[in-house]
Amino acid sequence: MIPIDDTPIVRDGRVLILAMDHGLEHGPGDFKNVPDKLDPTTVFDIATHDAVTAMAVQKGVAEEYYPSYEDDVNLLAKINGTSNLWMGEPDSAVNWSVEYAAELGADAVGFTVYSGSNHEVEMFEEFRDVQEQAREHDLPVVMWSYPRGQGVKNDTKPSTISYATRIALELGADVAKVKYPGSKEAMAHAVRCAGGVKAVMSGGSKTSDHKFLSTVEAVMDAGAKGLAVGRNVWQREDPTRLLDALEKIVHESETADTALEA
């Protein structure tokens, strides 16, 4: 872990990552109801919202669109990723060198680790290289810490999520992006397991405003340091309105109800 509170991807100790790598990970189907969002500029525009501390994209999207947004958006270079056509044990290709990410102006790097997969050993070792190269460039490292595969029966149960945040700490991440373990108590335990690493919740698939924001409130109450969100923002009709609400909950510690009323 490095002191990341002074880095651009953190605002007063909190992190709000807008993720848009779904075109690779899930395919164009994720954009079915929001076809205009297939144009990455629409999502980069959303990412200029003050609530967003970084936008996570794959290399190709960064190469083409980031130059126009580098003054207004912080770039979280998502280093690895795989299509959902992949039928093997969970794995993720390293699509971007840290060196080149830094050259393109990345403010941080992101890396998925599927602990429990029969590719765990290989992914840990790839993470090692990425983490140590990121250190040379003074870039914070966000681990998408997702236990999955042959060794994992339930990928959101409390003990899995606590293990996920702990692995992020042990291996040297600065931020641990994990799924919601189902309760505030479970999230609080996961936060404790993370030590000084910032645990943030992964947004997941789109739900109602109230359900989503209440979960975020619970997560922040549990001591988490923020959120990484994609579909719950850009699949909405009015992403700005939701980001306004998230700004209150994540950055200003307000409740979901207050935030929704505003």
Candidate list 105, 182, 195, 204; residue touching a second copy; CB under 8 A:
195
Q: Residues in contact with a second copy, total (CB under 8 A)?
A: 69
> How many Cα atoms are found within 13 Å in the side-chain-facing hemisphere of 153?
3
Active-site residue (options: 78, 177, 179, 248): 177
Mark whether 153 is an active-site residue: no
Give CA separation, 4 vs 107, 135, 198, 231, in Å. 11, 12, 10, 26
CB 67 to a second copy: min, Å: 10
* Residue nearer to a second copy on the CB measure, 194 or 246: 194
- Residue that the structure tokens 């990970």 belong to: 25
Q: Among positive and negative, which fits the CA dihedral 152, 204, 64, 87?
A: positive
First CA to last CA across the chain, in angstroms?
36
> 125-154: which residues touch a second copy (CB under 8 A)?
125, 127-128, 131-132, 135, 147, 150-152
**Residue 49 structure tokens:** 């919202």
Closest approach of Cβ 90 to a second copy, in Å? 10
Q: Is the distance from CB of 76 to CB of 55 less than 8 angstroms?
A: yes
Instruction: Report the number of secondary-structure helices (H) and strands (E) in the chain.
Output: 12, 10
Bridge-based pairing of strands 75-78 and 54-57 is parallel
Quick one: 51 or 173, whose CB is closer to a second copy?
Answer: 173
CB 116 → a second copy: shortest distance, Å?
3
Torsions phi, psi for 225 (to 5 deg) = -110, 15
Single residue of 44, 96, 111, 212 touching a second copy by CB under 8 A: 96
Of 17 and 256, nearer to a second copy (C-beta) is 17
> Which residues of the chain form contacts with a second copy (CB under 8 A)?
1-2, 21, 23-24, 27-29, 31, 35, 38-40, 58-61, 63-65, 81-83, 85-88, 91-97, 100, 115-116, 118, 120-122, 124-125, 127-128, 131-132, 135, 147, 150-152, 159, 162-163, 166-173, 189, 192-193, 195-197
